[in-house]
């Protein structure tokens, strides 16, 4: 069939298998062009199908020649309906890995459940024995806690006071004011349940118990800090509480991994266009100003550039010393947070309105990145060609 983007609000209902494949091929090519990494050998990526997790899987496999097990939660194609982008991304990844003789297997299911943890660990035990790197890159609005059976939903709200600031509808370019009422106490608890560190710790405990971590194994989860304009709704809001919890959990996991000479870190990454970040008010306006500023300064990065830098300049350097900030975190948001970048954005923020944004912000870059997430608007893809949506994933366990 001919597949076109079908937008509904902040999501796109369709995705293009050939475009998603092209996205993956571009990331593989970028990684290969950077040269080989003396990096991990056997890697588990939880949240491996899109965004930072996919980039981590590609960097491990095609940068370090590592075997990877990827876990994700994606919808397969059904009659006349396309799959979610992460499904097609994973199909393309598996195909390329197989072609290159790199071990790769994938599991599609709820990573928060005991069942998927056990299934994944059984696969690791059978095929790889142990892993030396575990990347935790889940982004989800909902989690059922396997211990209590309670389903929690995260919210994006300020804490204690009403938040009001500019935002943009990136489809129309209209800048308006958004007001968000403060959260309740249960909103905080629920958001921490979903996006905090409890599930990461459960994964690491289960892997440890099963003796599936090699000596010196490392685990990493991703966090975000961001600028002052988004602070009330992001880092000092409900999601920020979850990130605080995630960062605190890194130290607990690190303690546990000491017995095998292992370690656990949080890496603070740059703001990027993903399905998740597009739904957060104010963030799209900030990202469009950020992209413009970083592109002008020639320091703009996407997920794959970020993760390659993480592996090459933080995790697997020749000295093997990992540079950390005062709170013990890895920072690859260093270029985003540079003073000249942030000062410029503060200046632009004042000027931003519907008439100025197309000049002072990178609205087009935002839109094209958003479409790219779903496999649309990629160079070298013929979107008028009849396309098979019914693509399956090799080595799906």
Contacted entry of Na ion, ligand NAD, none for residue 275, CB cut-off 5 to 8 Å set by kind: ligand NAD
Contacted entry of Na ion, ligand NAD, none for residue 110, CB cut-off 5 to 8 Å set by kind: ligand NAD
* Minimum separation from the CB atom of position 319 to ligand NAD (A): 26
Residues 288-347 that bind Na ion (CB under 5 A): none
Whether residue 71 contacts residue 116, with contact meaning beta carbons closer than 8 Å, is answered with: yes
Q: What is the 8-class DSSP label of residue 384?
A: T
Which residues, including other chains, have CB under 8 Å from residue 65's CB and lie 6 or more apart?
A: 36, 102
Q: Which of 134, 271, 294, 332 binds ligand NAD (CB under 6 A)?
A: 271
What is the widest separation between alpha-carbon atoms in the chain? Answer: 59
The answer to whether the Cα torsion of 368, 332, 73, 241 is positive or negative is: negative
d(CA 286, CA 230): 8
Q: Is 88 a catalytic residue?
A: no
Query: How far from chain centre, in Å, is Cα 284?
Result: 16
* Minimum separation from the CB atom of position 238 to ligand NAD (A): 13
Decide: is 275 part of the binding site for ligand NAD (CB under 6 A).
yes
Half-sphere exposure of 117 (CA within 13 A, CB side): 20
Check whether 111 is labelled as a binding-site residue: yes
CB nearer to ligand NAD: pick between 74 and 96:
74
Based on its alpha-carbon atoms, the radius of gyration of the chain, rounded to whole angstroms, reads: 20
Decide: is 231 part of the binding site for ligand NAD (CB under 6 A).
no
d(CA 190, CA 266): 21
* Minimum separation from the CB atom of position 20 to ligand NAD (A): 13
Task: Give me the residue label for tokens 């000049």.
Answer: 359
Whether residue 363 contacts residue 288, with contact meaning beta carbons closer than 8 Å, is answered with: yes
Check whether 132 is labelled as a binding-site residue: no
Whether residue 106 contacts residue 191, with contact meaning beta carbons closer than 8 Å, is answered with: no
- Per-residue binding string, ligand NAD, 46-65, x by CB under 6 A, is -xxxxxxx------------
DSSP readout, 39-69? Answer: --SEEEEES-SSHHHHHHHHIIIIIH--EEE
d(CA 208, CA 206): 5
Residues 105-124 that bind ligand NAD (CB under 6 A): 110-112
Pull the structure tokens for residue 156: 């994006």
Q: Which of 28, 168, 272, 307 binds ligand NAD (CB under 6 A)?
A: 272
CB nearer to ligand NAD: pick between 187 and 336:
336
* Three-class secondary structure of residue 31 per DSSP: helix
Check whether 73 is labelled as a binding-site residue: yes
| Ramachandran sector of residue 395 (left: φ over 0; alpha: ψ -120 to 50; beta: rest) | left
Check whether 224 is labelled as a binding-site residue: yes
Please choose, out of 45-53, 153-161, 162-170, 346-354, the segment that lies near ligand NAD by the rule CB under 6 A: 45-53
Residues 131-150 that bind Na ion (CB under 5 A): 137
- By CB atoms closer than 10 A (0-12, 13-18, 19+), residue 145 is middle
Check whether 396 is labelled as a binding-site residue: no
Decide: is 372 part of the binding site for ligand NAD (CB under 6 A).
no
Task: Give me the residue label for tokens 């990573």.
Answer: 111
Decide: is 274 part of the binding site for ligand NAD (CB under 6 A).
yes
d(CA 267, CA 335): 14
Decide: is 34 part of the binding site for ligand NAD (CB under 6 A).
no
* Minimum separation from the CB atom of position 144 to ligand NAD (A): 9
Check whether 164 is labelled as a binding-site residue: no
- Per-residue binding string, Na ion, 43-62, x by CB under 5 A, is ----x---xxx---------
- Annotated catalytic residue, options 136, 234, 291, 366: 234
Residues tagged in the binding site annotation for NAD(+):
47-52, 73-74, 110-111, 138-139, 243, 272-274
- Binding residues vs ligand NAD (CB under 6 A): 47-53, 71-74, 86, 110-112, 137-140, 222-224, 269, 271-272, 274-277
- Which chain residues interact with Na ion by CB under 5 A? 47, 51-53, 137
Which residues are designated catalytic? Answer: 234
Output the known binding site: 47-52, 73-74, 110-111, 138-139, 224, 243, 272-274
């Amino acid at each position: 069939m001919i597949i076109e983007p079908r937008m509904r609000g902040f999501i796109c209902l369709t995705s293009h298998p050939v475009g998603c494949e092209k996205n993956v091929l571009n990331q593989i090519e970028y990684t290969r062009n950077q040269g080989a990494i003396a990096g991990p050998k056997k890697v588990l990526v939880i949240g491996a199908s899109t965004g930072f997790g996919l980039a981590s899987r590609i960097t491990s496999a095609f940068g370090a020649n590592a075997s990877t097990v990827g876990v994700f939660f994606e919808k397969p194609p059904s009659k006349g309906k396309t799959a979610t982008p992460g499904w097609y991304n994973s199909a393309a990844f598996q195909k390329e890995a197989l072609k290159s003789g790199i071990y790769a297997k994938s599991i599609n299911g709820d990573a928060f459940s005991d069942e998927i943890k056990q299934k994944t660990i059984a696969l690791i035990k059978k095929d790889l024995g142990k892993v030396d790197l575990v990347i935790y890159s889940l982004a989800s609005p909902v989690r059922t806690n396997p211990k209590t059976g309670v389903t929690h939903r995260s919210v994006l709200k300020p804490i204690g006071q009403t938040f009001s600031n500019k935002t943009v509808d990136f489809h129309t370019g209209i800048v308006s004011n958004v007001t968000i009422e403060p959260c309740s106490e249960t909103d905080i608890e629920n958001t921490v349940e979903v996006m905090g560190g409890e599930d990461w710790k459960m994964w690491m405990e289960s892997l440890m118990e099963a003796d599936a971590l090699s000596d010196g194994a490392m685990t990493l989860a991703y966090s975000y800090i961001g600028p002052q304009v988004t602070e009330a709704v992001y880092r000092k809001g409900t999601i920020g509480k979850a990130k605080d919890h995630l960062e605190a959990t890194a130290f607990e996991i690190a303690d546990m991994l000491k017995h095998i000479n292992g370690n656990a870190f949080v890496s603070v990454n740059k703001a990027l266009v993903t399905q998740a970040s597009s739904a957060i008010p104010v963030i799209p306006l900030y990202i469009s100003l950020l992209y413009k500023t970083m592109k002008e300064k020639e320091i703009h990065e996407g997920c794959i550039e970020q993760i390659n830098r993480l592996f090459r300049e933080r995790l697997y350097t020749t000295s093997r010393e990992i540079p950390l900030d005062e709170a013990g975190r890895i920072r690859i948001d260093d270029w985003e947070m540079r003073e000249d970048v942030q000062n410029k954005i503060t200046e632009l923020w004042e000027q931003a309105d519907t008439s100025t944004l197309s000049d002072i912000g990178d609205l087009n870059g935002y839109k094209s990145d958003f479409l790219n997430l779903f496999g649309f608007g990629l160079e070298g893809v013929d979107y008028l060609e009849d396309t098979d949506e019914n693509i399956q994933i090799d080595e799906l366990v």
